[in-house]
Structure 1
Amino acid sequence: MTQTVWIARHGNRIDFVNPEWFNTAERRYDPHLSPDGRVQARQLADRLAGENITHIFASPFLRTVETADAVAEVLDLPLQLDWGLAEWLNPEWMSEMPETLSVEHLSAKFPRIDPTYTGGKAYYPETWPACLKRTGETAKRLVKAYPEDNLLFVGHGASVLGTAMGLIPTLRETDVHASLCCLVKLVKESGEWVMELNGDTSHLDETEEVVRFN
């Protein structure tokens, strides 16, 4: 039996486009997509149409929810939020546990969110190895829970790396490409996961020249 896991990073974020946004934001560590990031999310959605994805899981940060919701709309699927796919809770980036909108608030704004789903956990502060372990364990948990389904994970640069490495332990960090709104495609055949796409951005009109993680 063949199973496919797609892994996507969120689209461009407002603080990458306008760094001053951070200084006045209500939730400084939870930026929304920039205008071009919303375009990227729609292009990602169009790319995934017809790929027989049956479940979409996303980090609960606003930029990932917005990206995943664009895909869920095109694929006509519900959206499940999982803290196991969350951003690296790096104390050098964040002075405190990042505040995100509640599931209730998010599901009111994005009706495709399933508010009854409860996923993994993430804890602040977090080391880089702990982040890779958390996201890798999340990938293994979800493919085990849905062994006959094709899944989409929408996360961050760190969770693109971690989920791919969790399913293919021979991968190194430098083996996985994780630019904005990229796609990684992993296929399981005869019990082994293989990577068929690595950081693909062919669906995007505009791509970043230098990959940024913060």
Structure 2
Amino acid sequence: MQGLFVQNVLVMRHGDRIDDSEPLWALQAARPWDPPLAKDGEIRAWATGRRLRPRNLGFRLHRVLVSPFLRCLQTAAAVVSALCAKCEEEASLMAQETGAGVPIDRSAVKVSIEYGLSEVMSSRAINVDRVPQDGKWFPDISELESFLPAGTVDHSSERMCHQTLPPWEEELGKARMRYKKVITAIADKYPNENILLITHGEGVGTSIASFMVGYEAWEVDFCAFSHLQRKIHFTDSTGLCAEPFKVLDEEVGQNGIQIYSVQEEMSSA
């Protein structure tokens, strides 16, 4: 194989979570550390998925990898349904508030769960009174996969970079290193594919700080996403050579992320 491929990686936050709109939800929840989406989150995720369809985005997404937290799985389900929706007229799809009842092309994208995209595993990020003492944060992966649209799940071997969750009370710096490592590892694993990663706010922020030198994210909206891009050169002799990722900074504000210059912050301090 020879040639050039421009690889696009989108790193997206999940939709609106129920405990933001219903603060008392966690008091009666069996799994307070794992809130689902609120109704507004489902609507926002579906709307974002419509934005990511090829005719709107300008390129096709081949693969979706998602954090095992319920709000991320539900976000992925809505986004994938929108990405794969079969419709004769795009306008009819845009009129849908959710993906309920919309037929999809189940072969359009491959979807899988990636533990390395999980929330920062500490009380700083998961601020609830109860966490699992036995270390079992989630059901088995087959049950987690049931939240994703049937027929879209990638069951190939070695699909995950991280097979287990980070240890509890993970340091923020280590979490950011994890996100950067996982984003790069997934992109390297699928060098001829465009990829959507559905994760948490800190993961999106890390994608900015890691690949846009001198900048940090100070606010990441629900369903906001960064757009990373790099050129990959394929040759018969050496295989491939990947250029460094860059953040398409002209899209950052449009996509729901607010950033600031670290240098300017230090100068004004």
Normalising TM by the smaller chain, what interval? Answer: 0.7 to 0.9
Q: Does 1:155 align with 2:203?
A: no
Structure with larger Rg:
2
Correspondence for 2:184: 140
Q: Alignment partner of 1:113: what SS?
A: coil
Whether the 8 Å CA contact 1:106–1:113 is kept in 2: the answer is: no
Q: TM-score w.r.t. structure 2 length?
A: 0.68
Q: TM-score w.r.t. structure 1 length?
A: 0.84
Correspondence for 2:254: 200
Distance 1:171 1:68 in 2: 31
Q: Alignment partner of 1:200: what SS?
A: helix
Correspondence for 2:116: 84
Percent pairwise identity:
23
Whether the 8 Å CA contact 1:184–1:200 is kept in 2: the answer is: no
| Cα 1:17/1:101, change in 2 over 3 Å | farther
Distance 1:183 1:17 in 2: 22
Cα deviation digits, residues 56-101 of structure 1 (max 9, x gap) = 0110101011111212223332311101111011134255457223
Q: Please, which runs of 5 or more residues in structure 1 have no aligned partner?
A: 208-214
| Pairing partner for 1:188 from 213, 230, 255 | 230
| Pairing partner for 1:54 from 62, 67, 75 | 62
Q: How many residues align?
A: 201
- The correspondence of residues 103-122 of structure 1 with structure 2, limited to 5 A, is 103-110=141-148, 111=150, 112-116=152-156, 117-120=159-162, 121=164, 122=166
Whether the 8 Å CA contact 1:59–1:154 is kept in 2: the answer is: yes
Q: CA-atom RMSD, angstroms? A: 2.3
Correspondence for 1:212: none
Cα deviation digits, residues 133-188 of structure 1 (max 9, x gap) = 1111001101111111111011100111223444x16254x346521111211111
